[in-house]
Amino acid sequence: MGRSALSAADDRADEATRLVESAGAEVAQVIRGKRDRPDAATYAGSGKVEEIRRALREHHAEIAVFDGDLSAAQIRNLQLSLSQDGPEVRVYDRTDLILDIFAQRARSHEGKLQVELARLEHLSTRLVRGWTHLERQRGGLGKTGGPGEKQIELDRRLIGERVKKLKGRIRKLTRSRATQRAGRARSGVLRVALVGYTNAGKSTLFNRLTGAEAYVANQLFATLDTTTRRVWLGEGAQIALSDTVGFIRDLPHSLVDAFRATLEETAQADLLLHVVDSANESRDEQIEAVNCVLEEIGAGDVPQMIVLNQIDRVRGLEPEVVRDAYGKILNIKVSAATGAGMDLLREALADAAREGCGPLASAA
């Protein structure tokens, strides 16, 4: 169903607020603005920039977060404008914020390598236009640059060398992961991957199905590292279930590229459990955002089972398996938090394991 532009804007502002809080910061004030197109110099326009500057002074804040993608020039201009007559202000855009959260959350060796790669590739785009403090000439001898090499050129070259090394190390880990996947495929066990918008309850569902103790928190991107467990669902029914990183609208392409090795777990799955927060009014937009990322990583054709989670937060919703006229499953309503409907989900997964996804509807 359609929602008003105002409601969608409120949802977007709420999500941006939660991103800031997930990064460990406190939101002092949310300032909204509407333009036909972003201002080329400052993204928000001079009047709105002045409003932001006054709010920063009022709250004694030194960080401004913009819920959009900013160019290097826009960030430079904003930092200069917002720092006038006061302390230096640091400007973050949406990509900076998500990268910062990923850097805090990464736990495995592979996850840390992927986050570093994404941050360096993002930083390299910020060097293209040239920051004033990177334009100074650098002299000297040795491997740190020849006479007259500009600092920006040196930085770009050093970043390029580090990116090349990171990609090589990630390729080795990718081969190891591929070997593990091949072993599971030879075993004949149905490979199932949990996907969904961040904070939809995937890890809670994973723990319910597997008895594991994957990290669960009411925050965005609580899980970054893929975890796989075997689940016995009855006679002749066994699956390999993988918990994966949550998606979000406008997920930075640098992150998608850097995490492609991990996300291949999703593309190689036989079935996707697409977990949806049934209590979220933006669930339709979130489903679309997840499907866009799945298309980008080559998982758009993998059969899906929609799991409407958190029904305990929606009045009138009860555990239920919804099928189409041909008997194929459209969605299953459950609450991973309370366990309601988990027997229905297990039964559907057992049928899929025995019949090779026969009772499931394909991804829309």
Q: Does residue 351 lie in a domain region? A: yes
205 with 341: CB under 8 angstroms? no
Mean pLDDT in the chain? 83
Confidence of residue 63 (pLDDT cuts 50, 70, 90): very high
Give percent of the chain with pLDDT exceeding 70.
81
167 assigned to some structural domain: no
- For residue 253, tell me if it sits in a domain: yes
Instruction: Name which residue leads in pLDDT, 102 or 202.
Output: 202
**76-90, 151-165, 317-331: which range is least confident on average?**
151-165
User: Is residue 112 one of the residues assigned to a domain?
Assistant: no
Whether residue 141 is predicted with pLDDT greater than 60 in this model: the reply is no
pLDDT above 50: residue 145: no
Residues 192, 91, single domain; the answer is: no
Determine, yes or no, domain membership for 51.
yes
Q: Is residue 186 predicted with pLDDT exceeding 70?
A: no
Q: What is the DSSP letter of 224?
A: -
Token digits for 238? 């066994």
**CA–CA gap between residue 197 and residue 199 (Å, rounded):** 6
Reported as a single tens digit per residue, the pLDDT across 220-267 is 666 666 788 899 998 878 899 998 888 888 887 777 877 776 677 788
Quick one: average pLDDT of 199-222?
77
Work out the burial of residue 298: count CB atoms within 10 Å of its CB; fewer than 13 is exposed, 13-18 middle, 19 or more buried.
Answer: middle
Q: Domain ends where: 54, 79, 99?
A: 99
Confidence at 362, pLDDT banded by 50, 70, 90: very low
pLDDT of 361 > 50? The answer is no
**Domain end (from 49, 65, 99):** 99
Range of the domain at 23: 7-99
The residue-averaged pLDDT of 346-360 equals 80
- Residue 11 is assigned to a structural domain of this protein: yes
Is 124 part of any domain?
no
Q: Classify residue 248: in a domain, yes or no.
A: yes
Judge if 85 and 199 occupy the same domain.
no
pLDDT above 60 for 142: no
**pLDDT bracket for residue 151 (50, 70, 90):** low
Amino acid at 276: V
pLDDT at position 137, please? Answer: 41
Kind and range of the H or E element at 55?
Answer: helix 46-59
- The number of distinct structural domains making up the chain is 2
pLDDT in tens, 65-91: 999 999 989 999 999 999 998 899 999
